[in-house]
Structure 1
Amino acid sequence: MSTIAETTTSITAAVNANTPANLANDTLASNFTTFLQLLTTQLKNQNPLDPLDTNQFTQQLVQFAQVEQQLKSNTQLETLVSLQKTAQSTQALGFVGHTVAIDGQTSRLTSDGAGWSFNSPKPASATINILNSAGATVFTGSYSLNSGIQNFVWDGRNNSGVKQPDGDYTLSITAKDAAGQGVAVSTEIQGVVDSVDLSKSPPTLSVNNTDHALDKIKRVVRQLGAS
């Protein structure tokens, strides 16, 4: 017949093996009932000259109580995770139709042009190059940058005025301040969120036909604007 120690070990092992909370609760209830039955039987039939160690079964009762508390904590954590996922999904859906800014240099050219934004720590003179997916430069221009975040929209025409095919284009900036020292300018891409994939965690947003995790969104802007 099973002993009290074996019963206690079986329920502890089930919990430590990441058993689902509802199944572990059922297992705990079943094993605890068995534990009490075995305890009662041993108390009834114990040898008066060698009685059951009260410290031992008290310790095992405490173990069951600790396991029960652990299961309750796990259930509460599962609830919190579920609520967080729901909140993320609700937040992600709110981005649909809005223009967002994401770290990056590559933007997709459409009939509306291709847009970027960049952040210069100080006023600077800059050369902006736009490269196609093959790495060839299709546009070069000189611009004066203000300090802070500003937008840049390319209409898709090269320096000869020829409209370039839709696709992915990469923007690079080389900037110098008034003293001729190099200025590091960070770039972002902008685009409208056209769909959300809620099957992923965290949810991903489709921007310019490219998926981006929700936590990669830096800013929400009203619209793409010219520099």
Structure 2
Amino acid sequence: MPVDATGSSTSATSATTTSRSTLASNFDTFLTLLTTQLRNQNPLDPLDTNQFTQQLVQFAGVEQQLQTNDTLGALLAATQTSQAATALGLVGKSVTADGDTTLLDDGAATWKLNAPSAASATVEIRNASGALVATRTVDLDYGDQDFTWDGKTTSGADAPEGLYSIVVTAKDAAGSTVSVTSEIAGTVDGVDLTTGTAVLTIGDLRVPLSSLKHIRTAAAN
């Protein structure tokens, strides 16, 4: 399927076609002037051929650049088409990706955390506006583990469903800072091509293809 939702490919093609048409017109005019001048030049004061040679070289350079632009445009279109096909093939798949934002759904939001060593951590949970809605203190083991938030705010109220992000601050037993990475997971339900780059969607969550870590067949209901 063509990937030109933003019109970028069409615009680039149109611009290149216009530039090539203008170049051809200018080159024809240049040759007409050149032959006219050569035909009517003063034999005692001939035209400087070096100037004409330089202009010919410039025309050739511009034409070569247009041909390069055509090639790059074709490669970009092929890459976008391939990327779109790959993304569409992931619809219905269960994926894990780098990220700190996930969806609170049915009273639960889960992140996958990775700690390089055992640590005590404070997890701040923020809404889509960046406002702090809850804080949790957890003990992390070495390696991968899940952190699930029950959707309860600091006041004990139920937070509305939507996108939430986390900030993890962790220290080991010696008090040294531990860098904890986070991942999100979910089942892909769509692909957004409006930006010209394929982005997976999991509900309202947007996941770039470049952030994917694992892909699995979604479990049957």
Under a length normalisation based on structure 1, what TM-score does the superposition of the two structures give?
0.69
Q: State the identity %.
A: 48
Matched-pair contact (CA < 8 Å) for 1:92–1:214: yes
Matched-pair contact (CA < 8 Å) for 2:97–2:207: no
* RMSD between superposed Cα atoms in Å: 3.5
Q: Which residue of 2 aligns with 1:76?
A: 71
Q: Which amino acid aligns with 1:220?
A: H
Question: Is 1:42 aligned to 2:43, yes or no?
Answer: no
Question: Matched residue of 2:188: which SS?
Answer: strand
Question: Is 1:103 aligned to 2:99, yes or no?
Answer: yes
1:168 CA displacement: 4.2
Distance in 2 (CA, whole Å) between partners of 1:61 and 1:170 is 59
Distance in 2 (CA, whole Å) between partners of 1:129 and 1:57 is 70
CA pair 112-195 structure 1, distance change in 2 beyond 3 A:
farther
Distance in 1 (CA, whole Å) between partners of 2:122 and 2:103 is 20
Distance in 2 (CA, whole Å) between partners of 1:70 and 1:122 is 54
CA pair 179-39 structure 1, distance change in 2 beyond 3 A:
closer
Q: 2:144 aligns with which of 138, 149, 152?
A: 149
Q: What CA deviation, in whole Å up to 9, does each residue of 1:107-166 have, x standing for no partner?
A: 3222384221011011235566767787444x85744x33223233456589xxx98764
CA pair 116-223 structure 1, distance change in 2 beyond 3 A:
farther
Unaligned runs of 5+ in 2: 1-13
Distance in 2 (CA, whole Å) between partners of 1:170 and 1:36 is 65
Distance in 1 (CA, whole Å) between partners of 2:108 and 2:71 is 49
Q: What CA deviation, in whole Å up to 9, does each residue of 1:27-66 have, x standing for no partner?
A: 2222222222222222222122222222222222222222
Equivalent residues in 2 for 1:162-201 (5 A)?
Answer: 166-171=161-166, 173=168, 175-179=170-174, 181-201=176-196
Question: Matched residue of 2:214: which SS?
Answer: strand
Moved more, 195-204 or 93-102: 93-102
Under a length normalisation based on structure 2, what TM-score does the superposition of the two structures give?
0.71
Question: Matched residue of 1:222: which SS?
Answer: strand
Which of 1 and 2 has higher RCO (CA within 8 Å, sep 6+)? 2
Q: 2:62 aligns with which of 61, 67, 92?
A: 67
User: When the two structures are aligned, how many residues end up with a matched partner?
Assistant: 201
Equivalent residues in 2 for 1:14-53 (5 A)?
Answer: 20-53=15-48
Unaligned runs of 5+ in 1: 1-18
Q: Which residue of 2 aligns with 1:220?
A: 214
